Structure 1
């Protein structure tokens, strides 16, 4: 086995888990504050499905590196999901519904996919093909999900909604797995990770072009509300005794 096939996946396992645990501090901050603020919960919902899908693909191939790179992420993403879901304001009906529908609908689809594959009596190669195809699709969606706020970034000139640690971890992680995927000739490894690298660079470009507007804008405890048409910062109500 070559250097790339032995060392790169080990590095990839470490980087993948760094990617999945990168949002931990942000999640902890919004939980402490009790307000979602600028934190985007959509990637956490997609991460639940993506990590499960890749853990299953790692078992099917089998590839211990792929499994170890995603199994911890399953637990982390579920914690993020259940922690941030209650913080989505009631005013944000569309956002709450989208986040819930992604997880519930995704899990239902995964059960149907696994059941169909197993009970169809297909070969191990065919099984891995469909699991890899599904995992790759989710992987690309996960890597692209932070761009769901791209319109907000362009409109406001503020990139606070793009979480820098997650974006940097994505670029380095995807680059490593892309090289490893080419080395072992697995299109389901290098394909989505190559796309993820490019999407990560787009996010880096937005973060560079539109820096965050200081501590107040990035503070998850800032007074914000959501509307059905997206995230809209508004001036909080002030009582007669409050200072402006």
Structure 2
């Protein structure tokens, strides 16, 4: 008989897949214009690292199949996004992106795997990986916080799309519930924070939804970065 935690995890996977795929419109625009315009590669580089660490965690931890599979999908999607940046970005941005990928997605990830495999064993290894995953996820919530500050400052929600906030709320909530069912604090804490941030953003949206749009245009790339901080953000998982 399928347990309740498995069902909740599958629902979480579906939501996380939608979050991973949310920037497709942006990258279709990049391909069409053959330019990355004002978009930044860092959110996608960080999400690639985030997905890689959570995949490693899911593989290492017994019963972590659902975490590993959805983040494995995330690795593929984010890798495609990063490659598109390397193809269509200006030379300076390509160099910057390549350096960051080398440092974070290759160097840091390889070091984390080697150290945890050679120096740690059993539950200690799982805990160390979990701390890294949760820590990175919490750091990545800087983007939703920045979006909330912008809303309060401008008294307008034009720079905080509703569906971004809704998916942060939904994704964080379902995975926090899953973490509670399987008693996994490394999943629960960052996703619980994501759920609270999503709730706060929805409240701000309710308060400022009728606010007058600002006359100053903020790059669409700033808004897009927010999608890449949810882990299952991120999607965090």
Q: CA deviation at 1:37?
A: 5.2
Match of 1:110 in 2: 109
Q: CA deviation at 1:84?
A: 3.5
Instruction: Tell me, in whole angstroms, the C-alpha distance in 2 between the residues paired with 1:159 and 1:104.
Output: 36
Equivalences, count: 215
Match of 1:82 in 2: 83
The answer as to whether partners of 2:9 and 2:175 remain within 8 angstroms in 1 is yes
Match of 1:182 in 2: 180
Give the structure-1-normalised TM-score: 0.71
The answer as to whether partners of 2:168 and 2:197 remain within 8 angstroms in 1 is no
Instruction: Tell me, in whole angstroms, the C-alpha distance in 2 between the residues paired with 1:100 and 1:205.
Output: 39
The answer as to whether partners of 1:22 and 1:165 remain within 8 angstroms in 2 is no
Give the structure-2-normalised TM-score: 0.73
Within a 5 Å distance, the mapping from 1:77-226 to structure 2 comes to 77-84=78-85, 97=96, 102-107=100-105, 108-120=107-119, 122-148=120-146, 161-162=159-160, 164-204=162-202, 209=208
Instruction: Tell me, in whole angstroms, the C-alpha distance in 1 between the residues paired with 2:37 and 2:154.
Output: 15
Instruction: Tell me, in whole angstroms, the C-alpha distance in 1 between the residues paired with 2:202 and 2:85.
Output: 25
Q: Partner of 1:68: helix, strand, or coil?
A: helix
Instruction: Tell me, in whole angstroms, the C-alpha distance in 2 between the residues paired with 1:75 and 1:143.
Output: 22
Q: CA deviation at 1:51?
A: 0.4
Q: Which runs of 5+ in 2 are unaligned?
A: 222-237
Q: CA deviation at 1:50?
A: 0.5
Q: Which runs of 5+ in 1 are unaligned?
A: 222-244
The answer as to whether partners of 1:41 and 1:81 remain within 8 angstroms in 2 is yes
Residues 129/220 of structure 1: CA separation in 2 closer, same or farther (3 Å cut): closer
Decide which structure has the larger Cα Rg and report it. 1
Q: Partner of 1:190: helix, strand, or coil?
A: helix
The answer as to whether partners of 1:174 and 1:197 remain within 8 angstroms in 2 is yes
Measured on the aligned residues, the alpha-carbon RMSD in Å equals 3.6
Within a 5 Å distance, the mapping from 1:17-32 to structure 2 comes to 17-32=17-32
Instruction: Tell me, in whole angstroms, the C-alpha distance in 2 between the residues paired with 1:36 and 1:169.
Output: 25
Instruction: Tell me, in whole angstroms, the C-alpha distance in 2 between the residues paired with 1:37 and 1:134.
Output: 32
